[in-house]
């Protein structure tokens, strides 16, 4: 099939490259010319394992030609279906900001006036329940002068990939959720996903309506965010009693009903999804008159962890004027994404304590410069901790586990570990956040 994907960020680029690999002809549409040029050169515009190989296989001068990119929305006219993969950030009050989606839907709709055949639009972005029907459908209908069910189909297909493992997650999903409010749209969506379902060895396909599909995404993220906050709550109790929360997590994870995944306690969750999506569904619930106590508590526990982390440091050192190394800036390993990284409140807290900060990350320094342009950034983890009075582990990159003799070069071997990453050694003063 011929597919168009509007928005070439973490989701749009990944799904475009994967669909091309599964045999579809795909065009990415993005307003960012640099992203388009990069893709058309056969290169991946974001850091994701496995993505460079897929992009170079299908885009660029040596590619199969099944993947290309453009800034011109007209490209959608030669396709059967369009995925909307645009950002859905949060407003200051935490509610979802749909302005980018609305602008994209408007331009897409206007472009579709020129198409005579039926066209299917699939909302891939994370949007609060009823957005597809109440907000995006009227915009698309008005702008395209088509009616849903006649010239136009609009479906909702939430995405569950994680950054860092996006390609593997997309190609081997735990489930595929197809939200549609009419048969024709559902059929087109099934055709789009048929090669993926076959490739992934028949994962469960959940067929539902659009508002349920929208809610499944928030329930999924809310549940996982709350699971991490619950293990952090338990971890904080463990720390008070001198118990290792990781030993406890290993034991409770053996219960099938709990499961071993997402029980890593520490600094909590960041990233482009959990914080904004949890806030968005809380705000959406409140707008309907329901205050969700569990999700509010998940946010509260998460917000407290960075300060608890810094308080541990305070117990050992008055950091004013002292050199403190921050190890890890990405919101998790395997990505250069720093959006809502726990490194941000940690650095803010260190700055308010007047620490002399040096930061290191294997791939996320450039992105973090946008938040902290004047910070000192080291080229290696070893350089960062050299002469430092304390090292704070913020992201669980594998390379931090391998640090060893490098600690000898610290002015004072004080390590505060927010991610259960470092093996304590002789001569080191070591504190884990929840162990």
Ligand X SMILES: O=c1ccn([C@@H]2O[C@H](COP(=O)(O)OP(=O)(O)O[C@H]3O[C@H](CO)[C@@H](O)[C@H](O)[C@H]3O)[C@@H](O)[C@H]2O)c(=O)[nH]1
User: Which residues contribute to the site for ligand NAD (CB under 6 A)?
Assistant: 6-12, 29-32, 35, 85-88, 100, 103-104, 125-126, 159, 161, 163, 272-273
Select the residue whose beta carbon is closest to ligand X and give its number.
273
Contact status, residue 336 vs residue 369, Cβ threshold 8 Å:
no
What is d(CA 265, CA 243) in angstroms, rounded to the nearest whole number? 13
**Closest C-alpha among 8, 147, 137, 123 to residue 75:** 8
- SS3 sequence of 365-404: HHHHHCCCCCCEECCCHHHHHCCCCEEEECCCCHHHHCCC
Shortest reach from residue 395's CB to ligand X, in Å: 7
Residues 308 and 434 sit within 8 Å (Cβ to Cβ): no
Contact between 83 and ligand X by CB under 6 A: the answer reads: no
* Residue of 38, 95, 221, 413 interacting with ligand X (CB under 6 A): 221
Q: Least distance to ligand NAD from the beta carbon of 158, Å? A: 7
Q: Are 266 and 260 in contact (CB under 8 A)?
A: no
Paired with 153 in beta bridges are: 120
Under the binding rule (CB under 6 A), the answer on residue 163 touching ligand X is yes
| CB of 36 or CB of 188, closer to ligand NAD | 36
Q: Which listed residue (18, 85, 273, 421) is catalytic?
A: 273
CB of 126 to ligand NAD, least distance (A): 4
Return the residue of 332, 339, 353, 420 that touches ligand X, per CB under 6 A.
332
CB nearer to ligand NAD: give 107 or 348. 107
SS3 120: strand
Secondary structure (3-state) at 351: helix
Residue 273 a catalytic site member:
yes
160 near ligand X, rule: CB under 6 A: yes
Only one residue has tokens 């060893």, namely 404
- Is 226 in contact with 294 (CB distance < 8 Å)? yes
Is position 162 an interface residue for ligand X (rule: CB under 6 A)? yes
Min separation Cβ 403 and ligand X, Å: 19
The catalytic residues are 273
Positions in the binding site for ligand X (CB under 6 A): 126, 159-163, 221, 224, 228, 262-264, 266, 268-271, 273-274, 277, 331-332
């Amino acid at each position: 099939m011929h597919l168009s994907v509007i928005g070439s960020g973490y989701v749009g680029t990944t799904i475009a490259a994967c669909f091309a690999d599964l045999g579809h002809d795909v065009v990415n549409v993005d307003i960012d010319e640099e992203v388009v040029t990069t893709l058309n050169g056969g290169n991946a515009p974001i850091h994701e394992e496995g993505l460079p190989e897929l992009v170079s296989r299908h885009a660029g001068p040596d590619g199969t030609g099944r993947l290309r990119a453009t800034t011109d929305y007209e490209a959608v006219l030669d396709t059967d279906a369009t995925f909307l993969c645009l950002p859905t950030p949060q407003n200051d009050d935490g509610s979802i900001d749909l302005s980018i989606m609305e602008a994209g839907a408007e331009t897409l709709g206007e472009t579709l006036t020129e198409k005579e055949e039926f066209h299917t639009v699939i909302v891939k972005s994370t949007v609060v329940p009823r957005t597809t029907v109440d907000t995006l459908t009227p915009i698309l209908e008005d702008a395209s002068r088509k009616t849903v069910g006649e010239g136009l189909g609009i479906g909702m297909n939430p995405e569950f990939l994680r950054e860092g493992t996006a390609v593997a997650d997309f190609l081997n999903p735990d489930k595929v959720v197809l939200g549609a409010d009419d048969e024709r749209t559902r059929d087109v969506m099934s055709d789009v996903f048929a090669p993926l379902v076959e490739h992934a060895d028949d994962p469960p396909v959940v067929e539902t309506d659009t508002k349920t599909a929208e809610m499944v995404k928030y329930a999924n993220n809310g549940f996982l965010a709350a699971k991490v906050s619950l293990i952090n709550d338990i971890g904080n109790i463990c720390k008070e009693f001198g118990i290792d929360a990781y030993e406890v997590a290993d034991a409770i994870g053996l219960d099938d009903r709990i499961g071993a995944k997402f029980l890593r306690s520490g600094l909590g969750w960041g990233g482009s999804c959990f914080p904004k999506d949890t806030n968005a569904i809380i705000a959406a619930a409140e707008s309907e008159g329901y205050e969700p106590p569990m999700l509010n508590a998940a946010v509260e526990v998460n917000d407290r962890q960075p300060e608890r982390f810094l308080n541990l440091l305070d117990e050992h050192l008055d950091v004013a004027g002292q050199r403190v190394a921050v190890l890890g800036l990405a919101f998790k390993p395997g990505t250069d994404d720093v959006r809502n990284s726990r490194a941000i409140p940690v650095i803010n807290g260190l700055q308010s304590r007047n620490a002399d900060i040096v930061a290191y990350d294997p791939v996320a320094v450039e992105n973090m410069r946008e938040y902290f342009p004047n910070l000192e950034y080291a080229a290696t983890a070893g350089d960062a901790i050299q002469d430092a009075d304390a090292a704070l582990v913020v992201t669980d990159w594998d390379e931090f586990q391998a640090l060893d003799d490098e600690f000898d070069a610290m002015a004072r071997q004080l390590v505060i570990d927010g991610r259960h990453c470092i093996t304590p050694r002789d001569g080191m003063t070591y504190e884990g956040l929840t162990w």
